[in-house]
Amino acid sequence: MPSVVQVRKFLTDSAFLRASSVIATPMVEEFRTTLGAAPIATIAGGRTLIGSLLLASHLKEGSVGIQFKGNGPLGRVYAETQSSGSARAYVSEPSVQLPLVENRWNVKDAIGQGLLEVFRGTPFQKSRQIGTVQIQSGEVAEDLVFYLRQSQQIPAIMNLSVEVGEFGEVVGAGGVFIELMPGHPESLISQLEKNLRSAPAISHLIEAGADAHQILEPYLKNLPHTELQPSFEIKYECRCSKERVLESMILFDHGTLDEMIEEEKPTDVQCEFCGQVYKLTTSELQEIRNRSYKNSLN
């Protein structure tokens, strides 16, 4: 059964601040086991996955995708969450091993320098909106906050945590996300800054057994707030299918498709998110080739 998590959402009584938080340990562990990810890929991909959960929880409907296209050894790091209730993540090189730096996992160098792309879609759009910024730190949370300020003009706070155990298993994962609404007073910023300075590490709170509200409470100290209902319930689930695989292969260049057809034997295509293998027959490949050629004439 897919792992299910609940993103809890809150609004301050002044309505100038909205926040969400989640304990996502089982979901990030499912991501790890699905990809067979090493610790550094688990942490980078897990943070990105939690970030997509939190961003999507502030949408009425639609989807959020986050993609780090850095020059680090992990390659592409991608996660997406649908408001309809599913999330998934992917790392190009999940088996990469990197040593600790000053007793910390070096996520910054694992992702590297490059671009952060954030995709937003709604059921009424033919294509998703894409916002692109330079990767600032490679630590994920800081980069998403920078994106929100640059592309959306939204002041925000985000803290993401993924902790792994001795054998690479996920022992704690969660995050908080706070957005300041237009017209917020300076006093609100001052209180938030004060709260940030005294807030304990999320990883310590999760390790102590805190729930999603409890990891957020230190950030909202002295800021009366109300929990919004219902919570945002999400399961880790890949939406791949043979039909989706066939559609994606229409984008292959004709030479590659011709080579696959000439072999005259079934071709295995694997979903990069969940590892599901789909066998494509020669006749299916030929149909893809024909459709691809027709599209090139339009």
What tens digit of pLDDT does each residue of 96-129 get?
999 888 889 999 999 999 999 999 987 776 677 8
> In degrees to the nearest 10, what's the CA dihedral of 210, 214, 216, 219?
-120
CB contact at 8 A, 230 and 19 = no
Q: What count of other Cβ atoms lies within 10 Å of the Cβ of residue 242?
A: 13
pTM of the model: 0.87
Per-residue pLDDT at 258:
84
* CATH superfamily, with its number, for domain 242-297: HSP33 redox switch-like (3.90.1280.10)
- Helices within 157-233 (DSSP H only): 186-198, 202-207, 212-216
Q: What's the pLDDT score for residue 296?
A: 65
CATH homologous superfamily for the domain 4-236: Hsp33 domain (3.55.30.10)
pLDDT of residue 142: 97
Placement of tokens 């599901």 in the chain: 276
Pairwise CA distance, residues 76 & 95, whole Å: 13
Query: What pLDDT sits at residue 135?
Result: 98
- The CA distances from residue 81 to 20, 55, 65, 94, 115, in Å, are 15, 9, 7, 20, 20
Under-50 pLDDT residues of the chain: none
Domain ranges of the chain: 4-236, 242-297
Give the pLDDT score at 28: 97
Extended strands (E) in 25-168: 63-70, 76-82, 86-91, 114-121, 129-134, 156-164
